[in-house]
């Protein structure tokens, strides 16, 4: 069965492609290489020892998408990762974000409906909840005004899909709201490849550990949490990738209870920045240089998932403890700096 994975050379995309191929799906990747590297394809092929097709397409090009589906009219499902994801950049250049993340989504859905292929998984984010009134955060939590154009594209993306599912009953879609994906494949053949100075905590930590950065700045230690630092739900990327296969199979096997569903994907456990540092020091057996810095604008204080729905309905749960996930991230960092 042929599955299209857009953004399949990116961080979560590449790990998901591996899981799909290992479950004997035939995968075609679309990626524009704007924030990824063609070498990732070699990594995927090495891990799976199978062929994976790749087409370099910019999804803002509707004609190119139509041509793609002419060639691959037997695609049975789409997992749509392709999007820009840097929060700061989205504030500086919102139109790029709205164009990149939303026009591509609209074109893809239109072309899919045109060929009568309707199983669609959307890569969403816990960012849609903003600062939730309660943790753990359930899927019923209120969607708060987005804190950045990036976050807004995820909210609007979900609305586009929801409205489309209402209007076109043949469309079957699932939005997956990720908490904080981390780590790398145990083979160390694929992992996260941030461009420039990493904005996210774990790549910054691993780059500091290998001497690429002098020290980690902990953004604020005066938050109303036990140790004063912010709390997140760090989910191992391979566990996250497996959830995509589960979600896709739910659609393919027509098990969904409605034609639009939403699931949180996290571990259900919140960890503070200080706890992450401690965990990292434990697994790396080295001290991590850090200093306390001022708060980062737009940071939420506490976000971790209520995972009951994903556990019970999707039959999926996170398996990998934080220490183990951090160890894969460190091994990957060392490998790419060799
Ligand atoms: C960030 C984005 C979020 C996006 C997600 C994707 C912001 C405000 N939010 O989420 O919209 O969906 O990435 O992965 O950018 N931290 C430090 N020092 C650092 C880096 C981070 O102390 O150098 C802290 C942050 O303050 C936060 C935690 O580490 O408390 C996690 O940060 P990060 O990895 O950037 O993830 P999010 O803020 O959850």
Q: Are residues 176 and 228 in the same domain?
A: no
Q: Are residues 222 and 212 in the same domain?
A: yes
Q: Does residue 298 fall inside a structural domain?
A: yes
The atom of ligand 1 lying closest to the CA of 154 is: 12
Average pLDDT, the chain: 97
Q: How do residues 175-184 score in pLDDT, each as one tens digit?
A: 999 999 999 9
Reported as a pLDDT band with limits 50, 70 and 90, residue 60 is: very high
Q: Are residues 146 and 216 in the same domain?
A: no
Q: Whose CA is nearest to atom 35 of ligand 1?
A: 200
Kindly report the pTM of this predicted structure.
0.98
Q: Does residue 191 fall inside a structural domain?
A: no
Q: Are residues 260 and 323 in the same domain?
A: no
Average the pLDDT over 205-226 and give the result. Answer: 98
Q: Does residue 187 fall inside a structural domain?
A: no
Reported as a pLDDT band with limits 50, 70 and 90, residue 261 is: very high
Q: What percent of the chain has pLDDT over 70?
A: 100
pLDDT score recorded for residue 117: 77
Mutation choice for ligand 1 from 87, 91, 274, CB with most ligand atoms inside 8 A: 87
Q: Does residue 77 fall inside a structural domain?
A: yes
Q: How do residues 229-260 score in pLDDT, each as one tens digit?
A: 999 999 999 999 999 999 999 999 999 999 99
Number of CB atoms found within 10 A of residue 189's CB: 20
Q: Whose CA is nearest to atom 31 of ligand 1?
A: 201
Q: Are residues 296 and 175 in the same domain?
A: no
Q: Are residues 83 and 154 in the same domain?
A: yes
Q: Are residues 251 and 170 in the same domain?
A: yes
Strand-pairing partners, residue 31, are 56
Position of tokens 């506490």?
302
Q: Are residues 223 and 91 in the same domain?
A: no
Contact 267, 307 (CB under 8 A): yes
The one catalytic residue among 25, 150, 178, 260:
150
Q: Are residues 96 and 25 in the same domain?
A: yes
Would you state the structure tokens that stand for residue 128, as one six-digit string? 């849609």
Q: Are residues 166 and 295 in the same domain?
A: no
241: domain range? Answer: 2-182+234-265
150 is catalytic: yes
Distance CA 292, CA 75 (A): 50
Q: Does residue 196 fall inside a structural domain?
A: no
pLDDT score recorded for residue 224: 98
Q: Are residues 209 and 272 in the same domain?
A: yes
Q: Return the higher-pLDDT residue of 264 and 147.
A: 264
Centre of ligand 1 from the C-alpha of residue 266, in Å? 15
pLDDT score recorded for residue 118: 86
Say yes or no to pLDDT of 215 above 80. yes
Q: What percent of the chain has pLDDT over 90?
A: 98
Q: How do residues 108-167 score in pLDDT, each as one tens digit?
A: 999 999 998 789 999 999 999 999 999 999 999 999 999 999 999 999 999 999 999 999
pLDDT score recorded for residue 295: 98
Would you state the structure tokens that stand for residue 277, as one six-digit string? 């540092």
Reported as a pLDDT band with limits 50, 70 and 90, residue 318 is: very high
3-state per-residue secondary structure call for 291-322: EEECCCCCCCCECCECCHHHHHHHCCCCCCCH
CATH number at residue 240: 3.40.50.720
Q: Are residues 154 and 222 in the same domain?
A: no
């Amino acid at each position: 069965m042929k599955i299209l994975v857009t953004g399949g050379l990116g961080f979560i995309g590449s790990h998901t492609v591996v899981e799909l191929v290992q479950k004997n799906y035939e995968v075609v990747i679309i990626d524009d290489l704007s924030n990824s590297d063609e070498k990732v394809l070699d990594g995927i092929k090495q891990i799976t020892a199978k062929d994976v097709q790749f087409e370099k397409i910019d999804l803002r090009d509707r004609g190119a998408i139509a041509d793609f589906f002419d060639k691959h009219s037997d695609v049975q499902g789409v997992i749509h990762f392709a999007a820009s994801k840097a929060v700061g950049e989205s504030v500086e250049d919102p139109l790029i974000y709205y164009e990149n993340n939303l026009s591509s989504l609209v074109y893809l859905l239109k072309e899919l409906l045109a060929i009568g292929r309707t199983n669609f998984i959307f890569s969403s984010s816990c960012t849609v909840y903003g600062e939730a009134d309660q943790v753990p955060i359930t899927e019923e939590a209120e969607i708060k005004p987005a804190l950045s154009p990036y976050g807004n594209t995820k909210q609007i993306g979900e609305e586009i899909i929801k409205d489309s599912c209402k209007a076109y009953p043949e469309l079957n879609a699932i939005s997956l709201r990720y908490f904080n994906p981390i780590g790398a494949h145990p083979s160390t053949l694929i992992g996260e490849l941030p461009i420039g100075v990493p904005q996210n905590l774990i790549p910054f930590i691993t780059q500091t550990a290998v001497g690429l950065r002098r020290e980690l700045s902990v953004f604020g230690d005066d938050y109303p949490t036990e140790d004063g630092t912010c709390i997140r739900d760090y989910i191992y990327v391979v566990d996250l990738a497996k959830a995509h296969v589960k979600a896709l199979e739910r659609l393919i096997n027509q098990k969904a209870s409605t034609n639009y569903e939403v699931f949180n994907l996290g571990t259900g456990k919140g960890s503070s920045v200080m706890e992450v540092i401690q965990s990292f020091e434990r697994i790396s057996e080295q001290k991590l240089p850090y200093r306390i810095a001022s708060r980062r604008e737009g940071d939420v204080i506490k976000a971790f998932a209520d995972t009951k729905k994903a556990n019970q309905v999707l039959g999926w749960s996170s398996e990998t403890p934080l220490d183990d996930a951090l160890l894969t991230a460190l091994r990957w960092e060392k490998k790419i700096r060799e």
